[in-house]
Every structure is written in C-alpha cells, then in structure tokens.
C-alpha cells in the first residue's frame, strides 16, 4: 500500500510528560534529501501539526526552565545553523548561527547555556543570548572535503564538557581549552551522555559503549554478541541508561548491558530517545513508544 503524501518518519523526540511529546520528522515523499522538518505534538493520543521548519533538524531538546517559567523552552537545531527556540505557549523565534561550514550535528544545554558541535570540529556556545566559537585549537579549516566531525556533545558544567566524533575522537573542555582523551578505538562516536552520578558514557559504531571520564580513562562495556550496530542516542531513566541502536533498545543498570524487552506487536525502531522522571519516550521511523517504568505504549501517528 502506497504511503500518503503526509506520511512521516521521526528522527527527534522531546519528552514533555507521560501523555505529551514533541516529535520532529520528515516526509517520506521527499526521499533521502528532505528540505523541511515537520514538528508534531502528541497530547493524550491526539496528534497536532505544530509547524514545518525550513531545514533538516539534527537535534532537539527542552531547556531547563528560566526563573518564572513552569516549562523550559523547546529548541530545534537545523544542520545548516537555524535554531528555533519555542517558549511553551508563546511564539517561536529563529536564530541563524554563524558557522564556517555545514553541518551542525548536536545540541545540548549545560548550566543554562547551549552548546552546538559539528563538522570540522566546530563548537559554539550561547552565553547571555550570544553565540561564540569555543573551538580554538580544535577546529580544522575546511578545504576540499570534510575531514573531521564532532557528532555529540554534553557536559556537567561550564568547565567540564565532552565532545565526541569521527575516528574515535574524544575531547574534553576544562573551561580553558580542549584536551584530547585517548579512546580504545578509532571507530566513530555518535553520542555522549554525562550521567547524574558523574560518569560519562559514549556510544558509537560497532556497538562500542564506553564508560569513564577524561580523568579516569575509558572502559568498553559494550557487548558485540548482544549488539554490534551503531549506538545512536542515550538517556537515563529510572536508574538505568537506555541506548538506542536502530533495531534494538539496550539498557545498562551499572553492572549489566541487556536488550530491553518491549512486549508490543508490530515493527519497532529505536533512534531518538528522551525522558522525564516519570516517562521514557523513544522514536524511530514510524514507531513512537512511551514507557512509564511498568507499561509500554505505542502511539500511531494518523499521518501514517
């Protein structure tokens, strides 16, 4: 059966609550080179088309609430530098980041400041509403082709930030500059998560999952017999680290890495993931799932 002209596959998700989430995706009809990102909202199984962003969004998040806010702003980062920031219940604003080359790959918030990273190891930080480059000594000027890329960024504080990328690159920002951290692989990394207990987790190709820090070094806790695919994204929920790997969802409890059992019928895919204290949301292709710690639910987009 042919897909409708509005059929979507999802690449980003922002958890709002047990019954609410924002999803960013693309139209199947645009093929492998989409020109827009469609943002949808799910609210108690009702779906709403929020708007289209005229760029391919690679990262989305909800910021920590500002003073006087009940909910933090929602942010969508396009790969060519468009940042849409949307306060809950208000109009959105667009900012275009001044970047030397495409693309920007990831966005995070650390201590109330936004950080973005991308090709040629470019890193930007938004402080007091102003974006500045902080990739001195790290950035590689673009010549004929892309030769370096930072795919993921996260941090604990303004002087404790990690960026990871191609060739097993791990960089640590100590507030003064970037220092390389030696990885036990040269495979590319795609995601990094700074956990609440002070541990850093890094995921990449071939099922590589590192645990450690720049100070203590890195241990590969991945299990290639369990999963040898690309680890795409990760988040903490209910005392565990959940990791998406396209066809598998993994969980790590501090001792053991396992495949998460999702007892739902139908096709499942795991790419984007986000959580609030009371709910985990996961999305991939047309599959949208939520988990409250006891029960898994599937949410079917009416466009599909």
Q: Tell me: the pLDDT tens digits for 174-223?
A: 999 999 999 999 999 999 999 999 999 999 999 999 999 999 999 999 99
The predicted pLDDT at position 111 comes to 96
> Who's near 121: CB < 8 A, 6+ residues apart?
135, 138, 139, 140, 148, 149, 150, 163, 165, 169, 171
Model confidence at 1, in pLDDT bands (50, 70, 90)? low
The predicted pLDDT at position 279 comes to 99
The predicted pLDDT at position 101 comes to 78
Cross-strand bridge partners of residue 190: none
The pTM score is 0.96
CA 204 to chain centre: 13
For residue 47, what are the CA distances in angstroms to 5, 52, 285?
17, 15, 16
Q: Tell me: the pLDDT tens digits for 158-176?
A: 999 999 999 999 999 999 9
- Domain 100-260 has what CATH class? mainly beta
- Average pLDDT value for residue range 287-297: 98
pLDDT higher than 70, residue 138: yes
pLDDT higher than 90, residue 3: no
The predicted pLDDT at position 67 comes to 87
Q: In what order do the strands lie in the sheet with 296-298?
A: 272-276, 279-284, 287-291, 296-298
Contact 65, 19 (CB under 8 A): no
Within the chain, all domains assigned CATH 2.130.10.10 are found at: 100-260
């Amino acid at each position: 059966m042919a897909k409708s002209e509005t059929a979507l596959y999802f690449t980003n998700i922002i958890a709002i609550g047990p019954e609410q989430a924002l999803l960013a995706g693309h139209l199947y009809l645009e093929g492998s080179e989409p020109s827009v990102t469609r943002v949808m909202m799910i609210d108690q199984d009702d779906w709403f088309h929020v708007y289209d962003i005229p760029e391919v969004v690679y990262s989305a998040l909800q910021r920590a609430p500002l003073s006087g806010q009940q909910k933090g702003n929602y942010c969508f980062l396009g790969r060519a530098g468009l940042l849409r920031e949307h306060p809950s219940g208000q109009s959105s604003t667009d900012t275009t980041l001044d970047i030397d080359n495409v693309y920007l790959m990831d966005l995070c918030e650390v201590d109330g400041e936004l950080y973005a990273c991308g090709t040629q190891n470019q890193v930007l930080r938004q402080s007091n509403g102003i974006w500045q480059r902080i990739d001195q000594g790290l950035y590689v000027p673009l010549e004929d082709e892309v030769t370096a890329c930072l795919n993921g960024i996260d941090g604990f504080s303004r002087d404790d930030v990690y960026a990871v990328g191609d060739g097993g690159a791990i960089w640590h920002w100590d507030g003064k500059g970037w220092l390389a951290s030696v990885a036990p692989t040269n495979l590319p990394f795609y995601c990094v998560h700074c956990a609440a207990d002070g541990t850093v987790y890094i995921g990449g190709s071939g099922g590589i999952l590192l645990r450690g820090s720049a100070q203590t070094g890195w241990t590969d806790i991945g299990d290639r017999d369990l999963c040898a695919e690309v680890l795409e994204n990760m988040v903490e929920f209910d005392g565990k680290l959940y990791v998406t790997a396209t066809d598998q969802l993994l969980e790590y409890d501090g001792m053991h890495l396992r495949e998460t059992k999702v007892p739902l019928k139908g096709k499942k895919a795991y790419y984007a993931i986000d959580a609030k204290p009371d709910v985990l949301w996961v999305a991939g292709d047309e599959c949208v799932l939520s988990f409250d710690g006891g029960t898994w639910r599937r949410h079917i987009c009416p466009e599909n």
